[in-house]
């Protein structure tokens, strides 16, 4: 099996083991009356809290002390074991701690899988910028496949989704032990300071104006991503409470499959990243991403399973641009603008800011706002107002980004990875 195919399998299952439950967790949670919306926000915040520390910490370990592929395998196996235990938990407060443990294991594997892929590709003399995006596409396909499996097996509202993800995660962990070795760089001398020995040099990136702004807006977009992860499927599922649609509506029955159009869109947009990076530069594609978030939420605000179905479909299509044009390009931006000795740490820092600080704020603040301002006494949610509020938020972020982030793109400059 060649290197690209092996890394494609890694990417596919990296996101399969997440997609099996991430979009449908809220549907499972509310269908089984496990707790309140605020408690759900707290549970989703475990993704963020674990991302604040663990990716950077795991990146440091991979940079300095332990083979990346081995560390990755251990984390995936632990994550799988915890997910298999989830069905035993019926209380929201207890579920919070179980998911916290699962996310401590899983969230750092996202940036670690990128670092492993970059390292193996470079060791085999591949052009990372050209080769990695097509490999990463299969991660999105894995996420889609997991969503379809969850929906078509009737698992979107029951605990089987966690069993599917848990078994696949343990298999992925074992598979990772067969990958080429990704040994630590071990570039730190015996005279290095404690700051250097802990691999905290990546945090120095925050002292650079352009990088600091990049991370700040990463935080804002991380919040936007968390909003769609938390509420997308349950928004469509809630149309069952409207008499004109009901539980037999196509949108309600296949809400997870419809949401998977978002990930299908990713597979298209991700392949355009090398072209857009070279032609427009990082600032413009980040701006395109923010505009796509405005449309993502705005179209949801006015969409419905009837005459407004096209808006729901179009919202899912623009999601591909919203997600890819920032997350994947941002990862490549970090890879090409940091020193090799701290790249795993820098990727971890990027993950910490987006899926950590940003997602935490998105989870907690949205959970509070929706519960206190957009939830009726009968428990039903005012989805049009919710999505319109999110759209306004994304628009404000985009305007601030255009004004504050100064970056001149040179179309004649070749985007290359520094070795």
Exposure string for 393-406, b = 16+ CB within 10 A, e = fewer: bbbebbeebeeebe
Structure-token match 């978030």, residue found: 293
Give yes or no for a contact between 322 and 289, defined as CB atoms under 8 angstroms apart: yes
Give yes or no for a contact between 187 and 201, defined as CB atoms under 8 angstroms apart: no
The ranges assigned to domains in the chain are 7-183+195-404
The per-residue pLDDT for 190 is: 47
Q: φ, ψ for residue 16 (rounded to 5)? A: -60, -45
Integer Rg of the chain from CA = 21
CA distance 388 to 376: 17
The SS3 call for residue 375 is strand
The per-residue pLDDT for 82 is: 95
Task: Give the tokens for residue 400.
Answer: 């601030």
The per-residue pLDDT for 292 is: 93
CA distance 267 to 93: 37
Give yes or no for a contact between 301 and 160, defined as CB atoms under 8 angstroms apart: no
The per-residue pLDDT for 317 is: 92
The per-residue pLDDT for 80 is: 93
Q: What is the pLDDT of residues 343-368, one digit of tens each?
A: 666 776 777 787 778 877 887 788 78
| Residue among 331, 298, 325 nearest 114 (CA) | 331
**What spatial distance separates the first Cα and last Cα of the chain, rounded to whole Å?**
26
7-183+195-404: in CATH 1.20.1250.20: yes
Centroid of chain to Cα 210: 23
CB-based contacts of 261, cutoff 8 Å, min separation 6 = 313, 316, 317
Centroid of chain to Cα 156: 19
The per-residue pLDDT for 98 is: 93
Give yes or no for a contact between 138 and 16, defined as CB atoms under 8 angstroms apart: no
Q: What is the pLDDT of residues 108-138, one digit of tens each?
A: 888 788 778 877 877 777 766 677 777 877 8
Count of beta carbons in the 10 Å neighbourhood of residue 376: 8
Instruction: Give pLDDT tens digits along the chain (419 positions).
Output: 688 888 888 889 999 999 888 888 887 887 777 877 778 878 878 877 877 766 556 656 655 676 767 788 889 999 999 999 988 888 888 989 999 999 888 988 887 887 788 778 777 777 666 777 778 778 888 988 898 888 888 887 788 889 999 999 999 989 888 877 766 665 544 445 545 544 566 677 777 777 788 888 888 888 887 777 778 778 888 888 888 777 778 888 888 888 888 878 877 887 787 788 778 877 788 889 899 999 999 999 998 888 888 999 999 999 988 888 887 777 777 776 676 666 666 776 777 787 778 877 887 788 788 878 887 777 678 889 999 999 999 999 899 988 887 766 555 544 443 33
The per-residue pLDDT for 259 is: 83
| Residue among 20, 39, 42, 22 nearest 30 (CA) | 39
């Amino acid at each position: 099996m060649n290197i690209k195919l092996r890394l494609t399998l890694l990417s596919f299952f990296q996101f399969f083991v997440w997609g099996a439950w991430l979009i449908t967790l809220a549907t499972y949670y509310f269908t089984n009356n496990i707790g309140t919306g605020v408690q759900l926000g707290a549970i989703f915040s475990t993704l963020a809290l674990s991302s604040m520390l663990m990716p950077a910490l795991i990146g440091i370990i991979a940079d300095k002390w332990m083979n990346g592929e081995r560390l990755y395998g251990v984390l995936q196996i632990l994550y799988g074991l915890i997910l298999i235990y989830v069905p035993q938990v019926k209380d929201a407060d207890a579920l919070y701690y179980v998911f916290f443990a699962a996310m401590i294991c899983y969230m750092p594997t996202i940036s670690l899988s990128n670092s492993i892929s970059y390292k193996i590709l470079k060791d085999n003399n591949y052009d990372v910028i050209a080769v990695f995006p097509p490999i990463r596409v299969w991660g999105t396909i894995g996420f889609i496949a997991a969503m379809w499996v969850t929906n078509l097996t009737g698992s979107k509202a029951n605990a089987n989704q966690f069993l599917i993800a848990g078994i696949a995660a343990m298999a992925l962990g074992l598979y990772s032990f067969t990958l080429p070795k990704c040994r630590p760089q071990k570039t730190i001398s015996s005279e290095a300071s404690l700051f250097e020995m802990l691999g905290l040099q990546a945090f120095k990136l925050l002292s650079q104006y352009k990088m600091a702004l990049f991370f700040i807006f990463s935080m804002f977009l991380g919040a936007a991503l968390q909003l769609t992860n938390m509420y997308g499927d349950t928004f469509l599922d809630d149309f069952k409470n409207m008499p004109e649609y009901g539980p037999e509506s196509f949108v309600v029955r296949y809400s997870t499959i419809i949401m998977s159009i978002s990930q299908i869109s990713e597979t298209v947009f991700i392949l355009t990243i090398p072209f857009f990076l070279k032609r427009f530069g990082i600032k413009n594609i980040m701006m395109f991403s923010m505009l796509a978030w405005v449309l993502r939420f705005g179209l949801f605000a006015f969409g419905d399973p009837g005459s407004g179905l096209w808006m729901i479909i179009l919202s899912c299509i623009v999601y591909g641009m919203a997600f890819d044009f920032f997350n994947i390009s941002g990862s490549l931006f970090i890879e090409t603008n940091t020193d090799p000795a701290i790249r795993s740490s820098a990727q971890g820092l990027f993950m910490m800011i987006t899926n950590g600080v940003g997602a935490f704020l998105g989870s907690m603040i949205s959970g509070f706002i929706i519960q206190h301002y957009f939830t009726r006494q009968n428990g039903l949610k005012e989805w049009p107002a919710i999505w319109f509020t999110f759209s306004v938020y994304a628009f404000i972020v985009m305007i601030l980004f255009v004004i504050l982030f100064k970056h001149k793109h040179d179309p004649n400059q070749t985007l290359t990875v520094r070795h």
